[in-house]
Every structure is written in structure tokens, then in C-alpha cells.
Amino acid sequence: MGAFGALIITSLNGSFNLDLLRETSYKAATVTTMIFCILIGASIFSLIFRGVGGDLLVDQIFEMMPGGKYTALLFVLLAIFLFGFILDFIEICYVIIPLVAPPLLMMGFDPVWLGILMAINLQTSF
């Protein structure tokens, strides 16, 4: 039936009014504003982190890990898994992945498979 059908049935029953529409619109705008604040904050954090050389530090840490690139990949996947318990996927995608993906890509991992591994890992951490 869908949302449109439910809206029509609700309006036909007489329980639909402008106060309900106003409250629903306000809540939708509040959630949308929160999501955009997270996106803007994550973008600013990533720009500042890269500006002060944080991406080079992450790259050096990954290169110094014993076991090579697979240990770095395992560390990143474990960190994403643990962050998934306390953060939403939006925060992880906009804060954590831009910090760790470029060094992993420079180590020679395929971008498609790296993205698939991270996406599956995010799903299991939910």
C-alpha cells in the first residue's frame, strides 16, 4: 500500500489535521538538520586533520605495523567493527573511512574490495 495509501486512509478517517502535519514536518526537519550537522562537522574535521599532516601520520603507522598491509587492514576492520557499536554508520563513513582508506589504497588494496569489506563490516557491527 505504501505511505501515500496510508496517508489517504488516515485523511479519510478524519484523524489527519494540520497540527499533525506541522509536528511531523518539524521532526523531519530536526533529524535532517542533525544529519547535516554531522556531515559538516565530519568534513571540517577531515580537512583540518589532513591540513596538519594527520594522514601522513596514519600512513606511517600502517607502514610500521608488523605483518605488512594485511595487519593494517585487519586493524582497520577491527576498529570499524568496534566503532560500529557506539557510532552510526554516517559518522564512520564520513570520519573514519576518509582517514584510513587512502593509506590502505596506497598499500595496494583494490578499492572495490576494500569498500565491500568495510561495508560488510559496518553491517555486522550493527
Residue 70 has pLDDT above 80, yes or no: yes
Measured distance CA(54)–CA(90) in Å, rounded: 21
User: Per-residue pLDDT tens for 43-69?
Assistant: 888 888 888 988 788 888 888 888 888
User: Per-residue pLDDT tens for 72-95?
Assistant: 889 999 988 998 888 878 778 877
68 dihedral zone (left: phi>0; alpha: psi -120 to 50; beta): left
Cell 505504501 locates to: 2
- Amino acid (one-letter) located at 99: L
Q: Where are the beta strands (DSSP E) in the chain?
A: none
pTM of the model: 0.65
Task: Enumerate the domain spans of the chain.
Answer: 2-125
Q: How confident is the model at residue 13 (pLDDT cuts 50, 70, 90)?
A: low
Of 45, 24, 54, residue with least CA distance to 94: 45
User: Per-residue pLDDT tens for 21-40?
Assistant: 788 888 889 989 988 888 88
Query: Given this model, what pLDDT does residue 104 score?
Result: 87
Chain CA centroid to CA 74, Å: 19
